[in-house]
Amino acid sequence: MSIRHAVWTQFVPAFIWVVNSDMVYIECDGIKMKESNLQRHEIIGKSISDFHKEDHSGPNMIGHRQAFDEGSSHYTVDFAGRDYEAQLYHVPDEDIVVGVAMDQTEKRELQERIRRQDLDILEYSVPLVPLLDHAVAIPIVGVFTREKASYIQSAVVTKIVEFEGVENVVIDFSGVPSITEDGAVAFNELYRVFNLLGFRTIVTGIRPGLAITVQSKNHVISSDNIYSSLKTAIKDLLQTR
């Protein structure tokens, strides 16, 4: 056994196999095979379609045919409740395909946890605050990015619509040190969404540094009205009600 083979079969969380031109398994190994309590005799000698219980349109059959025809292929597949990413390579001299399937379950679970954490962070950095009976405020914290604008559009707008009698949406920038270029574009898209829903968009709290940045980069912050502070906007909203 070569050192490379030993590493792959003993340390890498993967299935490793060889398939001949008849689409029959002729070799298999790997940590994941052992963890799945699979024995070599349960796999070797079986066709891909028989072992995976799939017809010619199944992902394993398609992937192996592509590897024989094009030299290589890759695909994702579920096996025993785990997510695997398979890489297949054709060996022309022997007319076989060698396959390696890496377990991606932990990676995908980690990505999902990170995604949920990012959503939690967005929720805290873009809260929705009832202001008056006809107005709500969105005090933004941190750099304004497209992601924050998208979160407002996908999650916060729905909550605003649920408030009865709301006519004004006050977006407070006093906690925003800067705005990215795509964030500025996304904000204007958000403004159009509010406009289509019949809301009046009010921007408050743009600090001098942010104003200079917006001007120097030719960004446009669309709004129906702009106030220097949230306090001033509230005062005006109380008077005009």
Question: Residue 222 has which token pair?
Answer: 């669309």
- The per-residue DSSP string of 171-211 comes to EEEEE-S-B-HHHHHHHHHHHHHHHHTTPEEEEE---HHHH
Helix (H, G, I), strand (E, B) or coil at 218: coil
Report yes or no on 110 lying in a domain: no
Residues 41 and 138 in one domain: no
Domain boundary among 105, 129, 153: 105
Report yes or no on 167 lying in a domain: yes
Residues 80 and 154 in one domain: no
Residues 36 and 150 in one domain: no
Residues 121 and 235 in one domain: yes
Residues 94 and 137 in one domain: no
Residues 98 and 131 in one domain: no
Q: Are 126 and 151 in contact (CB under 8 A)?
A: yes
Residues 17 and 84 in one domain: yes
CATH number of the domain residue 234 falls in = 3.30.750.24
Report yes or no on 20 lying in a domain: yes
Q: Decide: pTM greater than 0.75.
A: no
Rounded to an integer, what distance in angstroms lies between the CA atom of residue 222 and that of residue 202? 9
Residues 100 and 7 in one domain: yes
Rounded to an integer, what distance in angstroms lies between the CA atom of residue 71 and that of residue 122? 44
Residues 234 and 121 in one domain: yes
Report yes or no on 91 lying in a domain: yes
Q: What is the pLDDT along the chain (241 residues), one digit of tens a residue?
A: 443 444 445 556 788 899 999 999 999 888 887 778 888 889 999 999 999 999 989 999 999 999 999 999 999 888 878 888 999 999 999 999 999 988 887 777 777 777 777 666 666 677 888 888 899 999 988 888 888 888 888 888 888 988 888 999 999 999 998 888 888 899 999 999 999 999 999 999 998 888 888 888 888 788 889 999 999 999 988 887 6
Report yes or no on 111 lying in a domain: no
Rounded to an integer, what distance in angstroms lies between the CA atom of residue 69 and that of residue 85? 20
- Which CA distances in Å does 63 have to 17, 29, 69, 177, 236? 14, 19, 10, 50, 65
Domain boundary among 105, 132, 162: 105
Query: Looking at the 3D structure of the chain, how many domains does it have?
Result: 2
Rounded to an integer, what distance in angstroms lies between the CA atom of residue 170 and that of residue 221? 13
Question: Residue 172 has which token pair?
Answer: 């407070």
Structural domain of 207: 116-240
Rounded to an integer, what distance in angstroms lies between the CA atom of residue 218 and that of residue 212? 10
CATH number of the domain residue 34 falls in = 3.30.450.20
Rounded to an integer, what distance in angstroms lies between the CA atom of residue 177 and that of residue 143? 6
Residues 96 and 158 in one domain: no
